[in-house]
Amino acid sequence: MNVMAKAEKKISSAFIYFFGSFGGILFGYDIGVMTGALPFLQADWHLENAASLVGWITSAVMFGAIFGGALAGQLSDKFGRRKMILMSAIVFMVFSVLSGVSPDMGEASAYYLIIVRMLLGLAVGAASALVPAYMSEMAPAKARGRLSGLNQTMIVSGMLLSYVVDFLLKDLPGEWAWRLMLGLAAVPALILFLGVLRLPESPRFLLRKGDEAQARKVLSYIRKNPAEIDQELASIKETAKEERQANQKTSWSTLFSGKYRYLVIAGVGVAAFQQFQGANAIFYYIPLIVQKATGQAASSNLMWPIVQGVILVVGSLVYMWIADKFNRRTLLMVGGAVMGLSFILPAVINWMMPNMNPMTIVVFLCIYVAFYSFTWAPLTWVLVGEIFPLTIRGRASGLASSFNWIGSWLVGLIFPIMTASMPQEAVFAIFGIICILGVLFVKTCVPETRGHTLEEIEEQGTNHGRVKASNPEN
């Protein structure tokens, strides 16, 4: 026992935070890897004119993630965050390999890959739910903002890693290229599994199971003094008690009662708009977008995803620098306005100057990605984490996450179908209008959360409900 205690004591807080957030790498890698694999897969399986199948293959992961996040949240309350992250890594490894060895059976191959990627999506959705939960339960309160930024940086780093892997493998024979791109996703999953084997369970889960001694030991790895540990243990106990009482008092109908409706609409709306604004259309399909704009083969345009990935990583670092210097609403409205114009202006320019340089649209897409990377990408989840009162937080956060995944899935599914039936500039103009609607939504429906306590934010919702009740015509 003493030997084991000494071995556990060697776990540094840096190791815990690094591997605690490493699941973001998996999430990001699988978002990005199909970007490079798809042109080779299309050519190998002759899917160039099968827009709906291409959409389903690309978006199947996000469809599975809708259910993976919900399942993981419930199972982690029973089995623990650590065990479920390990299980997610195993599922990710298995179905990444199965994606890479997809049999060549004509059109049936596409349906096989769709099903496998849906099952892979269970692990992606689980990682997206479990990693932030584990990190928030391990991190000290004063570091949670920076560590939420670390999770975002891990996600976009995973995307950049997948883009680099795609680029390095692009000169292999077509079949080998896409198979290795998809199959190599098992490598970061294996790294995550080996790293998490050494991680402790979260102290909050341990306390819920009545193991206060082990919870205290885990906190001793990541807190500096016994007084801080005692204070945090007491705080966790009190919060757990409040949550149990809240869960007993609430139902799904509670979310839409007068007191909470305003805050639920705000949080869920921001989560939905983040995806329906079309960011994933760029992340999934940028080589095909460049191909359609320039006529160059998509497989020769794999440098552009790397450019997007670098912009995303730099943007995530910019966010960590400015996060507490500007209001949430200000950043969302400025970011959304520039994103909307970046989508709309190419259509306007093309209408006024039909001989527009085809690369103009790609330049504007880079501007979109830059502003998305330090506004809507990270701030959506910061705001969702702050805006819901404790009484409804579990159900409301799950609802916001579900709408976000549904949006991600639909954008990935319908984008190739839309571009097959209308000009590319028109498709992006539609997303641009949605961006502008998102700005109006933030302006009229979302309260400011920066610098406000959770109680103050809840009071804003309560007061808004009273105003609506006294002015029903509004």
Residue 306 token pair: 């790397």
Shared domain check, 172 and 82: yes
* Shared domain check, 259 and 186: no
- DSSP states along 226-271: HHHHHHHHHHHHHHHHHHHHHHHH--GGGGGSTTTHHHHHHHHHHH
Residue 395 pLDDT > 80, yes or no? no
pLDDT at 375 over 70: yes
pLDDT > 50? residue 183: yes
- pLDDT bracket for residue 146 (50, 70, 90): low
Q: Are residues 351 and 455 in the same domain?
A: yes
Q: What is the pLDDT of residues 405-423, one digit of tens each?
A: 899 999 999 999 999 899 8
Residue 240 CA to residue 215 CA, distance in Å, equals: 14
pLDDT at 452 over 60: yes
Q: Which pLDDT does position 15 carry in this prediction?
A: 83
DSSP string across 36-103: HHHHHHHHHHT-TT-HHHHHHHHHHHHHHHHHHHHHHHHHHHHH-HHHHHHHHHHHHHHHHHHHHT--
> What is residue 464's predicted lDDT score, i.e. its pLDDT?
66
- What is the count of structural domains for the chain? 2
Q: Decide if pLDDT at 358 tops 80.
A: no
Q: Is the pLDDT of residue 171 over 70?
A: yes
Quickly tell me which residue has 């009190």 as its tokens.
Answer: 238
243 belongs to a structural domain: no
* Domain assignment of residue 219, yes or no: no
Percentages helix, strand, coil for the chain, rounded to the nearest 5?
85, 0, 15
Q: Cα–Cα distance between 297 and 319 in angstroms, integer?
A: 35
User: Is residue 360 in some structural domain?
Assistant: yes
* 265 and 406, same domain (yes or no): yes
The answer to whether residue 70 is domain-embedded is yes
Q: Would you say residue 247 has pLDDT above 80?
A: no
Can you give the pLDDT at residue 461? 65
Mean pLDDT is lowest, of 16-25, 33-42, 131-140, 266-275, for: 131-140
- Structural domain includes residue 454: yes
Q: What is the mean pLDDT of residues 69-76?
A: 78
Q: Give yes or no: residues 195 and 284 share one domain.
A: no
Claim to verify: residue 317 and residue 192 sit in the same structural domain: no
Residues 382 and 276 in one domain: yes
Residue 8 clears pLDDT 60, i.e. is over it:
no
* Mean pLDDT confidence for 128-134: 78
Q: How confident is the model at residue 250 (pLDDT cuts 50, 70, 90)?
A: low
In the structure, what pLDDT confidence band is assigned to residue 3 with cuts at 50, 70 and 90?
very low
- Do residue 159 and residue 257 come from a single domain? no
One domain for residues 22 and 87:
yes
Answer whether residue 7 shows pLDDT above 70: no
Task: Provide the pLDDT for residue 184.
Answer: 94
- The answer to which of 12-26, 81-95, 449-463 has the lowest mean pLDDT is 449-463
What percent of the chain lies above the pLDDT cut of 70?
88
Checking if the pLDDT of 228 tops 60, the result is yes
Tell me whether residue 216 is in a domain: no
pTM for this prediction: 0.82
**Residue labelled with tokens 């102290």:** 203
Q: Is 288 helix (H, G, I), strand (E, B) or coil?
A: helix
Last residue of a domain, one of 199, 214, 237: 199
**Mean pLDDT, residues 148-154 taken together:** 77
* Same domain flag for 189 and 279: no
| 297 and 175 assigned to the same domain | no
Q: How confident is the model at residue 6 (pLDDT cuts 50, 70, 90)?
A: very low
Residues 67 and 155 in one domain: yes
Q: What value does the mean pLDDT take over residues 194-211? A: 86
Asked if residue 2 is part of any domain, the answer here is no
Return the CATH number at 269: 1.20.1250.20
Q: Is the pLDDT higher at 149 or at 120?
A: 120
Q: pLDDT-based confidence at 451, cuts 50/70/90?
A: confident
What is the extent of the structural domain holding 345? 250-474
Q: Using a pLDDT cut of 90, give the percent of the chain over it.
A: 35
The confidence score (pLDDT) of residue 159 equals 92
Residue 335 lies in a domain: yes
pLDDT at 333 over 90: yes
Q: Which of 14-23, 43-52, 241-250, 320-329 has the highest mean pLDDT?
A: 43-52
